Amino acid sequence: MISIIPRLTMVVAVAVLLGGHGCRPTGGQPRPGMPAEPQAQHPTGPVTIETFVRRVYVGGVPYDEVSRYDPSSVTPVLLAMLSDEKEESHWTNIVVTLGMLGDERAVEPLLAFLRSGDGKTLSADRYRAKTSVVMSLGYIVNKSGDDRALKFLVDGVSVNVWKHRGIGWKSPYHRSRQALYGQLASMSLLGLGLSGRPEAADVLVSVKRRLTTSDGKALRAQIPGVAGIVEESLKANAIIAKSGLDGYYAGETNPIP
């Protein structure tokens, strides 16, 4: 597992959520086994957005480099790539980059991408890309304040809600629908953390309190590692609320990759 953050419990939790692959504090997810491509070398000016998302980032999509791009011009390009089957191996980078850009125009296409599927078991690339949508919505909420994305995340902390969201595809890593829905609920918690919004913090606090009630045992069974995920999401939310995403990713102890 590749990570440069010291919060080991959160790294483990996120790695499990993403199907056993490591990640780092820049928000992206590496793709082990992909053909080697040039690493980003921090050029004096940004490369084309197509080149950027097609690169392999062993440590994850770099937030500071995404910030160099103009969302109004590159978001349509990325959405077109997300509809192109030939770009499947790059979809995770595309989804994460769309989230980091924060353009609210990406919300509905991302949700449609998440739901799309014919009932078959997904490839590893598709699985990582689709599950990345949920957490990436947190970036969009932070940057645009989009109410649709916020409501999707708030409602999504309930495993039962996911049963009615039209997720037809099958996970290559989970034996049951319930386990998949538990993962998606976990990603919703992480997205609320990345949003930095006070309403999101309230929801996280509410979930934390539930863990101390009679519902706690059932909640832990539905969402493995939920206590640690909630705790680190609350910490991330507080940092981002105070310092923004730039300040969050400039730190050395950011809780959420």
Q: Are 167 and 184 in contact (CB under 8 A)?
A: yes
Q: Are 91 and 126 in contact (CB under 8 A)?
A: yes
Question: What pLDDT score was predicted for residue 58?
Answer: 87
Question: What pLDDT score was predicted for residue 27?
Answer: 42
Question: What pLDDT score was predicted for residue 59?
Answer: 82
Residue type, 131: T
Question: What pLDDT score was predicted for residue 112?
Answer: 97
Distances (CA, A) of 58 to 31, 33, 128, 178: 7, 11, 15, 31
pTM more than 0.85: no
The distance of Cα 151 from the centroid of its chain, to the nearest Å, equals 16
* Mean pLDDT by groups of 10 residues along the chain of 257 residues: 29 41 38 35 70 93 96 98 98 98 98 94 97 98 97 97 95 96 98 98 98 94 97 97 94 62
Distances (CA, A) of 10 to 149, 181, 230, 232: 23, 19, 10, 7
